[in-house]
Amino acid sequence: MSGDPIIPAAPSTIDLHTHTARSDGLLEPAVLVAAVAATGVRLLAITDHDTLAGVREILGAGVVPSGLELLPGIELNAITADRLDLRESEVHVLGLGVDPDDDGLEATLALQRTRRRVRFERMVALLRELGRPIDDALEALPATGDDDALGRPRVARAMIAKGYVASVEEAFATYLSRGRPGYVPREGLGPVESIRAIRAAGGLPVLAHFSEAPERLDVIHELRDAGLGGLEVYYRTFDAVTVDAVRRVAEEASLVATGGSDYHGDLEPYAATHAALWVPPTVEAPLRAALAGSVVTR
């Protein structure tokens, strides 16, 4: 988005979209949580791709800083193939407030992780065929956990380390996006299956960073009818016009408006991202109301 940036009316106290080193972020979960708490955020969701490992670690170790509430979360990359005619042939669904101990969800996530690993290995092999091997650079990248969810950002960082590209954006634009030579299609859950898996684990399914929402009301209505409960309106990189337009879609479709930074830890310290993040406090009450009937209300 390149229009007028959002100017936070006050330091945000809510961030409902972050990643740790248990998926494709760089920070250890405990380090992220401490950095977030230090900025004055009171309500945080860790939403790693396909894994609740970071959430379980933090809750299990009892290291949530006082004054901070950790909402267990997940992000599922849902395959739309060409059916919905979307840019990346996938949409991302956040599950806010899921039960981190739900066996059914864990089985689903384990299958997603297996498919993700297979895709990752195919991307690495494809880059090798293209004369852009990254195997040694991958080994040198910071280690991630057992539940590591491998993704394109990790491939991109290895490509930067090898000097093939200058940035993650360039890696996507020249190699890793759909239609580019290093692109490997993803296999896994569709959006409706993702929404159902999140609902079954007591969470609120939220469509993430979907800037096309105002033009794709067909998608919004279809997913809402399938159980979608929220729309990510206050997304860190949306400009003011986009936020306003997506907020109106959420209102019209009776979806809970959420917001977050999608912080991965690779570009800047959390405090710098937070300084430009605007998630209004009015997000909190409708979110809590929507989660009230769910299994987990930590």
Chain contacts with Zn ion (rule: CB under 5 A): 75, 92, 208, 262
CB of 25 to Zn ion, least distance (A): 9
- How many residues comprise the chain? 298
Break the chain down into helix, strand, coil percent, rounded to 5: 40, 15, 45
In Å, how far are 52, 55, 65, 110, 176 from 60, measured between CA atoms? Answer: 12, 8, 13, 20, 36
Query: Considering beta carbons, is residue 164 or 234 the nearer one to Zn ion?
Result: 234
Cβ 262 to Zn ion shortest distance, Å: 4
Q: Alpha helix locations (H) across 6-143?
A: 29-38, 53-61, 103-129, 135-140
Distance CA 142, CA 233 (A): 32
- Which residue, 153 or 202, has its beta carbon nearer to Zn ion? 153
Question: Minimum distance between the CB of residue 50 and Zn ion, rounded to whole angstroms?
Answer: 11
Tell me the CB-side half-sphere exposure of residue 80, using CA atoms within 13 A. Answer: 18
Please, which residue, 153 or 182, has the CB nearer to Zn ion? 153
Smaller CB distance to Zn ion: residue 16 or 208?
208
**C-alpha dihedral (9, 92, 194, 102), degrees to nearest 10:** -60
Smallest gap from residue 91 Cβ to Zn ion (A): 9
Which of residues 57 and 75 has its CB atom nearest to Zn ion in the complex? 75
Between 183 and 295, whose beta carbon lies closer to Zn ion? 183
Residue nearest to Zn ion (CB): 92
In terms of Cβ atoms closer than 10 Å to its own Cβ (0-12, 13-18, 19+), residue 64 is middle
Q: How far is the CB of 90 from Zn ion (least distance, A)?
A: 9
Q: At its nearest, how many Å lie between Zn ion and the CB of residue 241? A: 21
Helix/strand/coil for 140:
helix
As measured in angstroms, the least distance from the Cβ of 181 to Zn ion is: 23
Nearer to Zn ion (CB atom), residue 102 or residue 262: 262
Residue 170, φ and ψ in degrees, nearest 5: -65, -40
With tokens 């998926």, the residue in question is 23
CA–CA distance, 32 with 20 (Å, rounded to integer): 7
